[in-house]
Amino acid sequence: MSLIELLIISIGLSMDAFAVSVCKGLSTGEADRKKHYTVGIYFGVFQGLMPIIGYLLGYRFHSHIESIDHWIAFVLLGLIGLNMIKESREEDNQCAIEDEDAFSFKKMCILGIATSIDALAVGITFAFLQVDILKAASMIGITTFLISTIGVSIGCKFGSKFKSKAELAGGIILIVMGTKILLEHLGILVL
């Protein structure tokens, strides 16, 4: 998998974290750099760790399903992408008003896990595709850190109008990448 493909997947995976970051910024309404970096660090770390966990799980079973790994990658990325698109279209797509301990360790860990479950599934597909997981996880983590930090800033300034667009874009990116992987393995697309 090329560096550009990894970057595109990283951006797609970070869109859930971006959407939640916009909500965090909207709820705080203040330009507190410490909170911006706190959100970025939590989301970046969880997005970086989950693909490694998924990779380890996928690597364990790779030899048993090697002949259909491209279909599994296509289905997993497609389902994650469709779910993100569905979430972007839901009426109840507003940001909740945060309470005083919105940036507590417990709440940030819960949000970090919730926004990175899709990265776990992508990590499984990375094992099937024999991707350099440390390079991929680092890129996903750093990209998510940057995008989440920017998301908090945008939330502080502009509100929640970007939240659903970010989820829609992330979903489309993951579906396109899953389709590309399938078409390459079937020999239909040669790059």
Q: What is the pLDDT of residues 83-140, one digit of tens each?
A: 878 877 876 555 655 555 677 898 899 888 888 888 988 999 899 888 999 999 999 9
Domain residue spans of the chain: 3-90+98-185
Residue 8 pLDDT exceeds 90: yes
More confident residue, 39 or 61: 39
Cα gap 69→57, rounded to integer Å = 13
pTM tops 0.85, yes or no: no
The pLDDT value recorded for residue 98 is 53
